[in-house]
Amino acid sequence: MNMKHPPALPAILLLAALTALPATDTPASASGFKPTSELQKIEMSDYSPAEEIRLDIGKLIEADKVQPTSGISTDVVKEKCWLLRTPNGPPELRCPTSMLNWRTGAPDLTLDLGVEGNYDIYAEVHAVDGGGAKGATAKPEDPLPMAFTLELDDGSKREIVGAKGFPNYHFGLEVMACHAWNLTGRKIILRSVGKPVYLSGFRLVPTDKGFLTSEPANPSQSAGSPSDPRIRKVTRWVATDHVDIVKEEGKHFSFPGVALLKNGDLAVVYREGTIHNHEPTGKVSLSRSADGGRTWLPRVSALDRPNMDDRDPSIFQMSDGTVLLTSSDCISTSTDNAQSWSKPQLTPVFGPHGAVEDEDGHIVYGALKRTVQNELTRIEVHPLEVAVGRTVGSRPIRLLANAAYRSKDKGLSWDPAGIATYTAYMPGPMDYVWLDEPFICVVPEKFWIFTARVDLDGFARIIRSSDRGKTWDPIIKTPVWGYPQHLLRLRDGRLLMSYGYRRQPWGVRACLSSDNGKTWDINNEIVIRMDGGTADAQPAKVISKDLGYPVSVQLADGRIFTVYYFNSSGSNCFIAGTFWNLPKE
């Protein structure tokens, strides 16, 4: 995928300085320890999580925080009143959660959220197509058939909030409605624009607890200093046993995959090019190790189609010995431990971490279905983009899906297994997908588990199915910050998530779950690398965040081998790996 440039995250940047807890007098690696597969426990500075606030519209109304109360009717339709639908309403109005609907002639509402400070405000809404809404002007072809405005009561800020579904599928979603609104001493006006309104609540994310570039609340405490109250110290496990797999001046190596083959070899595939972005000479190369990953044979070409940028490869060996190689839009197979490959076959979905095997020995590929509906809606282009000649007019929004497909004939044909969630794609200079680069992990006879990156806030999402993709549980927002993610089921039954850490200290991290992805042990996060990127004053061939995409395998002796792409101290991107043992209880 192209590099993403998400908006600043509402978190506090903590220093990368380390204080080693165990003393060591042996020769040290870059992280201060002698290289060993045993993890080291250190104290370090890290981001402090933002204190988010969830506000249910029904509870706000119940607490008289929404006025006038005479303009709201609960579970009963009344003329010229907003309708609050609840889980206890009559069958024809009942909603699983609180839902506020506009009715013709209903008054503006004043919301007292009861908070102080600057916040990003996310509105929890329902996307509809606009057809059949009595008294509403919205039509199915309307780009925002569900819409309303939010405005500060002093008139200093105003935003239109909208969403669009499609005729045979309406869905709930969260929309970033307002950025950095100062709510101190202010209330919010909710106003109809003559269209349907489906509002469940708000999520408020603080922005004034921001970054070390801003000043602390007490001017006597310098930003980033030990006295800065926004800094917290944490203890983390740190890996130190690193190996370079392929590194060459003038080459940009990225997006790796790794497999432990049945003959004992380790095979690593990756995209080989000269720049991060697309180029017609990009190809998939393969490096092989016959000694457990300590030395690597010269790379060979695995996939190189003419005038195509073959990228984002993955490699996986099935229980019958078939090796799968996925890349961009295709899959190839090998029956000789990745020495030769079949002709590439097109795939219905794409994900950088590729396909796996289901309980029946078939291929299951859970990834991004790139087009469900080509033009879900359109948005107007920002005037600044027009001014610099980037684009003109409006921009189409494409509907995509995190979908699972199954193949019983090694990729020659595919059958849909289920859609975990829909998402949207906004093309442009800063292209954006809400639930991007998904990967599916199969926990036999228990769960199929999707994970997906969300650049808007950086936290990993989990979506689980207990019936092989037919139905899916609600999306779980995890406390794990980093992307994109790879999931590995360990022999002890736990799940390992590995992910790029594209903020300071730049690197790669991992986290464990003991309940099939429902919760994650973030307090025992594993820092695989934290020495990436380039100092501001040092010349650099790539930007510091051009790293990550880790994939992990468990070796025969129980150790984990995590492969990723990396840059450090002004270097170009290269492929590296880290050996590490699971943390001891």
In this prediction, residue 169 carries a pLDDT of 61
Architecture of domain 53-206: Sandwich (2.60)
- The one-letter code for the residue type at 247 is K
In this prediction, residue 4 carries a pLDDT of 34
- The pLDDT tens digits of the residues spanning 462-499 come to 999 999 999 999 899 999 999 999 999 999 999 999 99
- For the cut 80, the answer to whether the pLDDT of residue 516 exceeds it is yes
- The one-letter code for the residue type at 542 is V
**CATH number of the structural domain 237-339+432-580:** 2.120.10.10
Read off the DSSP letter of residue 8. Answer: P
The burial class, CB within 10 Å (0-12 / 13-18 / 19+), for 361 is exposed
Of the candidates 471, 477, 489, the one whose C-alpha atom is nearest the C-alpha of residue 451 is 477
Alpha carbons 578 and 30: distance in angstroms, whole number: 13
The 10 Å CB-count burial string (b at 16+, else e) for 392-421 is eeebebbbbbbbbbbbeebbeebeebbebb
Answer with the residue of higher pLDDT: 354 or 377. Answer: 354
Q: How confident is the model at residue 212 (pLDDT cuts 50, 70, 90)?
A: very low
Give the number of other CB atoms < 10 A from CB of residue 226.
11
- For the cut 60, the answer to whether the pLDDT of residue 219 exceeds it is no
Alpha carbons 572 and 242: distance in angstroms, whole number: 17
The token duo for 266 is: 């380790």
Query: Measured in whole angstroms, how far is the alpha carbon of residue 285 from the centre of its chain?
Result: 26
- The pLDDT tens digits of the residues spanning 140-196 come to 566 678 889 999 999 998 988 887 776 656 678 788 788 889 999 999 999 999 888
Q: What is the three-class DSSP state of 281?
A: coil
Alpha carbons 33 and 31: distance in angstroms, whole number: 6
- The pLDDT tens digits of the residues spanning 342-363 come to 999 999 999 999 999 999 999 9
- For the cut 60, the answer to whether the pLDDT of residue 62 exceeds it is yes
Of the candidates 449, 460, 435, 459, the one whose C-alpha atom is nearest the C-alpha of residue 489 is 449
Q: What is the mean pLDDT of the segment spanning 360-387?
A: 76
- Cβ proximity of 125 and 97 under 8 Å: no
Q: Which residues contact 175 (CB under 8 A, 6 or more apart)?
A: 122, 123, 125, 161, 162, 163
In this prediction, residue 267 carries a pLDDT of 98
Read off the DSSP letter of residue 335. Answer: S
In this prediction, residue 399 carries a pLDDT of 84
In this prediction, residue 33 carries a pLDDT of 63
The token duo for 82 is: 């907003």
Answer with the residue of higher pLDDT: 322 or 161. Answer: 322
Answer with the residue of higher pLDDT: 445 or 267. Answer: 267
Q: How confident is the model at residue 31 (pLDDT cuts 50, 70, 90)?
A: very low
Q: What is the mean pLDDT of the segment spanning 83-104?
A: 94
In this prediction, residue 378 carries a pLDDT of 67
Q: How confident is the model at residue 313 (pLDDT cuts 50, 70, 90)?
A: very high
In this prediction, residue 228 carries a pLDDT of 45
- The pLDDT tens digits of the residues spanning 327-344 come to 999 999 999 999 999 999
pTM of the model: 0.76
Q: How confident is the model at residue 392 (pLDDT cuts 50, 70, 90)?
A: low
Percent of the chain with pLDDT over 70: 82
Q: How confident is the model at residue 218 (pLDDT cuts 50, 70, 90)?
A: very low
Of the candidates 59, 120, 42, 35, the one whose C-alpha atom is nearest the C-alpha of residue 525 is 42
Q: What is the three-class DSSP state of 455?
A: coil
